[in-house]
Structures are given as structure tokens and as C-alpha cells.
Amino acid sequence: MVETDINMRTELMESTQVQSVDRSDTKVADMKQQVNATIGEPFAKDPKMQARQVNVYYGNKQAIFNVSLDLGKNEVVALIGPSGCGKSTFLRCMNRMNDTIPICRVEGNITLDSEDIYADAMDPVLLRARVGMVFQKPNPFPKSIYDNVAYGARLHGLAFNKAELDEIVITSLQKAGLFDEVKDRLHEPGTGLSGGQQQRLCIARTIAVSPEVILMDEPASALDPIATAIIEELIDELRQNYTIAIVTHSMQQAARVSQRTAYFHLGKLVEIGETNQIFTNPKHELTENYITGRFG
């Protein structure tokens, strides 16, 4: 019970919002014993990123226990699980965003195209240009729409003149499905858009850097159903060109957008498999309980 609380508290460090607090504490504590090894096939045939035996600690508290998982090329992997289960933490390991948290420590091996991303030779700044991230709450910079999208391109010197920059901004906005809505007001502040538009702006901003992988941390949790549907369609289109990992609290969303689904519980990867199989025929009792809404 106490240990459960501690694990729940790592929630705060992940800076994700508490969405659903697990009330069946005792039951969870019992079931915790049952998670020994991951059920299902965590490896992809054509992997883009590979994580092996990843352990993550916040100070003395362990937030991720021995997780191994592949992100395959051109697939969407959904990470689901109750709040505080470590899915956001795991996601943030994939582009070393956890480096910005001083007390966070990552063990294990994560590769991008067989390159160790935690090796000394890997520059986290270049890594994050290749592995982009979209956050839970839309966080456009307090700049114009144009400057928001151009930000990354300018940062990494992707455009050599104004025309090239315009080209990058327009294609990115088009890919994010936002261009038609904002083409007349590119120089107005990005913070003036609606929540869903802001989130698509953030996606456009991420695409503008031409990443290979896009990590999405509950990208639609702050949006209404219509904006969510637009984002989901977008994710499906983006799959053609990018590898995508998405953390979500919405089971329907995971079922709609992903090819594979991973179920996390208290820092452990409980079960991973084809999305269809996970939602129709889960093998682990915890997974079944979660997706049928019995807890979490």
C-alpha cells in the first residue's frame, strides 16, 4: 500500500496531470506480484528505435523496471496504462528529455538506427532534432504562428534563405492540417489559436525539423472530441513518413491510431502485442482489467 503510494507519486515528477487516481489500491498491490516478465513480443521486425532493459530512477525511487521495447519503422505504438505507471517517463527517455530533470537517472540501452543514444558521442540536441516530441498541453511559444514553425528550422540551419524557410513553414503546416485555417494570419501570435489548433501548431513545429521519430505525450488529452478526431487522422497520415510512439489515456484512441499497444503497470511493461489482439484478447489479467475499465 505504501509502496503503491510512492509509485503513484512519481506521477508528479513526470509532470503529467493526474487524470484518474486508482482507488482499488489493495487489489493493485496484490497484482503487482504477478508482473514478472513482459507478455507478448516487444521486438519489431524492422526496428527504428530499440530499448533494452531500461531502468529509470528519480532519486532513490525507481520509476521504470527493466523495460524492453522496439518502435518499428512507420508504425504507431500506443503506450497505455494507469496514471503514474511510467509511460510518459519511458517516452521521455527516448529523446533524452529526462536529461533536463536533475535527479533522473536512466540505465539500460536505447538505440536509434542501432546508434546508442546515451553514448557520449551522441549530442542530445541533435538527437532531439531526430526524435521530436509533442506534449500533453499545447505549448506554442509566445511568438507568431510563422515563427513557431520556423523556430526549429532556424535553430538547426535547415533553410538558407527566406524562400526556403517559407517552404518549410508552409509544408509543415499543411502536413499538420493547419495551413488552410491559418494561412491569412501567419504573423499573429500562436497563443491566440484554439486548443486543437495550438496542438496541431506544435505538431507542425515538430515536423518542420524533419524528425525520424515523433513522440507524443497524451497529445489529445486537453482537446475536445472534434479536435481529437482531427489529431488522430493526422497521426495516421504521419505514419507514412515517421515512426510514432503515443502515450494515451483513451483506450479508443489507442485502438484507433496504433498498430501495436503496450500496457504499462507500476513501471513495468506488462503486455505488448498487436493492438487488435490486446483489445480483443488480452493475455494478462491486469491488461484485461484495465482495458475493460475495471480499474485505472
Partner 1 sequence: MNATTLLVVIIGLTVFGYVIGRMRSIKVSQGTGGPSSLHSLPKYYGYMVALWCGIPALILLVLWLVLEPGILRSLLLDELPTTMSTLSENELSLVMNDLQLLADSGRIDAETDPHKKAAAIKLLELNSTSELMRNVLIFLVALNGIIWGLANVKIDMRARVFVERIIRYLLILCSLVAILTTIGIVLSVLFESIRFFKSVPITDFIFGTEWSPQTAIRADQVGSSGAFGAIPLFAGTLLISAIALIIAVPTGLMSAIYLSEYASRRFRAVAKPLLEILAGIPTVVYGFFAALTVAPFIRKFGESIGLNVASESALAAGVVMGIMIIPFVSSLSDDVISAVPKAMRDGAYGMGATQSETIRQVLIPAALPGIVGGILLAASRAIGETMIVVMAAGLAANLTVNPLQAVTTVTVQIVTLLTGDQEFDSPKTLAAFALGLMLFVTTLVLNVIALHIVRKYREQYE
Question: Which residues would be at the binding site for partner 1 (CB under 8 A)?
Answer: 15, 95, 97, 100, 102, 125-129, 132-135, 137, 139-143, 151-152, 155-156, 189, 191, 202, 205-206, 209
* Strand pairing report for 47-58 and 61-72: antiparallel
Rounded distance, CA 122 to CA 231, Å?
Answer: 32
Burial of 162 (0-12, 13-18, 19+ CB in 10 A): exposed
Per DSSP, the three-state class of 151 is helix
Q: State which residue, 5 or 192, has the beta carbon closest to partner 1.
A: 192
Residue 224, Cβ neighbours under 10 Å: how many?
A: 11
Cβ-based nearer residue to partner 1, 106 or 209: 209
Comparing CA positions, the residue from 226, 162, 159 lying closest to residue 196 is 226
Nearer to partner 1, 104 or 270 (CB): 104
With contact defined as beta carbons under 8 Å apart, do 274 and 44 qualify?
Answer: no
CB of 94 to partner 1, least distance (A): 11
| Residue 231: CB minimum distance to partner 1, A | 17
Pairing of the two strands 243-247 and 61-72? unpaired
Q: What is the DSSP letter of 64?
A: E
Minimum CB–partner distance for residue 130 and partner 1 (Å): 8
Q: Is 231 exposed, middle or buried (0-12, 13-18, 19+ CB in 10 A)?
A: buried
Q: Choose between 128 and 268: whose C-beta lies nearer to partner 1.
A: 128
Toward partner 1, which CB reaches closer, 21 or 155? 155
Report the residue number, 135 or 263, with the smaller CB distance to partner 1. Answer: 135
Q: Which is nearer to partner 1, 41 or 59 (CB)?
A: 59
- Tell me the closest approach of the beta carbon of residue 133 to partner 1, in angstroms: 4
* Alpha helix ranges (H) inside the chain: 2-13, 25-32, 87-93, 124-130, 145-155, 162-175, 179-182, 195-207, 225-238, 251-257, 275-280, 285-291
Residue 141 Cβ vs partner 1, minimum distance, rounded to whole Å: 6
**Separation CA 136–CA 217 (nearest Å):** 5
State the minimum distance, in angstroms, from the CB of residue 254 to partner 1.
22
Taking the complex as a whole, the smallest distance from the CB of residue 208 to partner 1 amounts, in Å, to 9
